[in-house]
C-alpha cells in the first residue's frame, strides 16, 4: 500500500478500503472515533470472509475430502501467520479463542484454578480491563490466593516502586494491560516481565489495545502469555488469540473438553491433542481465523510502526484541542508523552452519556461509560468518561469535528 512519505500513512487511500466510512447521518459523514471498542473491517478482509464461505467452507481436521483439506490447511496457516505477526515461535504457541476475555479465562481456569492456593499472590494493576480484573479476582476467591493491585498515579502511570514491593516470591501471576483502554498509557510490560521472572512468576499481558496499533514482539517483552482480539485490528468479531510459551501450554491442562482437542478416548480416560489444538475444543473459529491472518497481512502492508506513529499523533492533536477548554479534563499521560490512540475526557457538568447522544446528532461516534474499568473510574472520582479512539483511517479533520460538536454541546448545557 503506497504512502505519500516514508513515515506517513496515506489515510485517504486507506479509507477507500472502508466503505462504511462514507455513511451519512443527519447529513454528516460519520466520524468513527470508537476504535478502542471495535475497528472497521477493510474490503480485503471482507472478501476473505466471503471467499471462504463461497469456495472453501468445511470443517477442519475431520474429513479426507478436498474441501476439508483446503479449510484445514488455510486454518493451520492462519496460526502460522498470527505467530509471525507477534513474534511467536510457531503455531504451537498460538491458540484461537473467541476474544481477549476468553483467552484470559482460559489461562485463569487451566492454570489458576489448578496451580494457585492460599498463600499465593496474583498481582495486577488498578487500570485493568474487567476481562483481567474480574477474572483474576474470582480466581482469587475460588483458590484463596491474594489479589494485589499496582497503583496508578493521577497521570495514568504505574507506580513501579509499588510494583517491586508487591511482586515477591509468593507471586505466581502478574497480569498487566499493555495499553490502558482508559488512560492510553503504554505500560512497561518488558520491565514488569523481568520483575516477575526474577521471582519465578508468570506474566500475562493484555494486548487488546497494543497488538492492533504498534509493533509487539512477545520475545522482546518476554511475555509468558499475551491475549488480543481480531475485531480491534481490522479482523472479524468472534476471534481472539492466546499466545503462550510452548513449555507452559504443554504443562497446563485444557480449559474445554470435547472433540478436536483429544488424541485418544476410552470409556475410562482421554489423552490430549498436540498444541495448539489441545485448547481448541469443538469446531473452531475457522473462517474468523483465516480472516484474522488476512488482517495481519493488511496491517503489515501498511506498517505497524507507521500505525503507532499515526495514532500517537492523533492523540496528541486531540489533547491539544481539548486543552483549549478550561472545563474539559482529560485522563492519562499529558501531551508530549507517548500514548495509545485514545483520549478519555470529562466535561464539567455534562454526563458522558448525554454528551455521546449529542455527538451522535453530529455523526461523531465515541464511547461513553466506564469502558470496563469501573474501579478505575471510581478511583478517579468520575462516574463515566467520554472516549475518542483512533485508527488508521482517522484524520485531524475528524477530531476538529469532534471539538466543534463538543463546543455546541457545552453551549447547550450551559
Based on the residue annotation, tell me whether 372 is a catalytic residue of this protein. Answer: yes
Q: What is the Cα 5 distance to its own chain's centre?
A: 29
Do residues 135 and 105 make contact, with C-beta atoms less than 8 angstroms apart? Answer: yes
The DSSP bridge partners found for residue 25 are 28
Assigned C-alpha cell, 89? 515461535
Task: Phi first, then psi: give them for residue 31, nearest 5 degrees.
Answer: -110, 100
> DSSP readout, 350-411?
B-HHHHHHHHHHTTEE-EEE-TT-HHHHHHHT-S-EEEEE--TT--HHHHHHHHHHHHHHHH
Q: What is the DSSP letter of 149?
A: E
Catalytic residue, candidates 234, 287, 296, 372: 372
Give the C-alpha separation, 230 to 293, whole Å. 9
Do residues 362 and 412 make contact, with C-beta atoms less than 8 angstroms apart? Answer: no
For 347, residues 6+ apart whose C-beta sits below 8 A from its C-beta are 325, 327, 328, 355, 386, 406, 409, 410, 413
Assigned C-alpha cell, 174? 502478574
Q: Any idea which residue has 476504535 for its cell?
A: 35
Give residue 179's region: left, alpha or beta (phi > 0; psi -120 to 50): beta
236 closest CA partner among 47, 90, 57: 47
For 388, residues 6+ apart whose C-beta sits below 8 A from its C-beta are 33, 318, 342, 343, 345, 366, 399, 402
Burial class (CB in 10 A: 0-12, 13-18, 19+), 6: exposed
Positions marked active-site: 372
Amino acid at each position: 500500500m503506497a504512502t505519500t512519505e516514508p513515515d506517513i500513512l496515506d489515510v485517504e487511500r486507506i479509507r477507500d478500503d472502508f466503505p462504511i466510512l462514507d455513511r451519512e447521518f443527519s447529513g454528516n459523514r460519520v466520524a468513527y472515533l470508537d476504535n478502542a471498542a471495535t475497528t472497521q473491517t477493510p474490503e480485503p478482509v471482507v472478501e476473505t470472509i466471503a471467499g471462504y464461505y463461497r469456495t472453501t467452507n468445511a470443517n477442519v481436521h475431520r474429513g479426507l475430502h478436498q474441501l476439508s483439506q483446503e479449510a484445514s490447511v488455510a486454518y493451520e496457516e492462519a496460526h502460522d501467520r498470527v505467530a509471525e505477526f507477534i513474534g511467536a515461535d510457531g503455531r504451537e504457541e498460538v491458540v484461537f479463542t473467541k476474544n481477549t476475555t476468553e483467552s484470559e479465562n482460559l489461562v485463569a481456569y487451566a492454570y489458576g484454578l489448578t496451580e494457585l492456593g492460599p498463600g499465593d499472590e496474583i498481582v495486577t494493576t488498578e487500570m485493568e480491563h474487567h476481562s483481567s480484573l474480574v477474572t483474576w479476582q474470582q480466581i482469587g476467591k475460588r483458590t484463596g490466593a491474594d489479589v494485589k493491585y499496582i497503583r496508578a498515579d493521577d497521570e495514568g502511570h504505574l507506580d513501579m516502586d509499588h510494583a517491586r514491593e508487591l511482586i515477591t516470591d509468593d507471586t505466581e501471576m502478574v497480569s498487566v494491560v499493555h495499553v490502558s483502554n482508559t488512560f492510553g498509557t503504554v505500560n512497561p510490560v518488558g520491565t514488569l516481565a523481568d520483575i516477575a521472572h526474577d521471582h519465578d512468576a508468570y506474566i500475562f499481558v493484555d494486548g487488546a489495545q497494543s497488538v492492533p496499533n504498534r509493533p509487539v514482539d512477545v520475545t522482546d517483552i518476554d511475555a509468558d502469555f499475551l491475549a488480543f482480539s481480531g475485531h480491534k485490528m481490522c479482523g472479524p468479531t468472534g476471534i481472539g488469540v492466546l499466545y503462550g510459551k510452548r513449555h507452559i501450554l504443554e504443562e497446563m491442562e485444557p480449559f474445554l473438553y470435547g472433540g478436536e482437542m483429544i488424541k485418544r478416548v476410552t470409556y475410562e480416560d482421554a489423552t490430549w491433542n498436540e498444541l495448539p489444538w489441545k485448547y481448541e475444543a469443538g469446531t473452531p473459529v475457522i473462517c474468523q481465523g483465516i480472516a484474522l491472518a488476512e488482517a495481519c497481512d493488511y496491517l503489515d502492508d501498511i506498517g505497524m510502526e507507521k500505525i503507532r506513529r499515526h495514532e500517537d499523533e492523533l492523540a496528541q492533536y486531540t489533547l491539544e484541542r481539548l486543552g483549549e477548554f478550561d472545563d474539559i479534563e482529560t485522563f492519562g499521560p499529558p501531551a508530549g508523552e507517548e500514548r495509545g490512540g485514545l483520549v478519555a475526557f470529562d466535561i464539567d457538568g455534562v454526563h458522558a452519556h448525554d454528551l455521546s447522544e449529542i455527538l451522535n446528532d453530529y455523526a461523531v461516534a465515541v464511547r461513553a461509560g466506564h469502558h470496563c474499568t469501573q474501579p478505575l473510574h471510581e478511583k478517579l472520582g468520575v462516574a463515566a468518561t467520554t472516549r475518542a479512539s483512533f485508527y488508521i483511517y482517522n484524520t485531524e479533520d475528524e477530531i476538529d469535528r469532534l471539538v466543534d460538536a463538543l463546543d455546541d454541546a457545552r453551549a447547550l448545557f450551559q
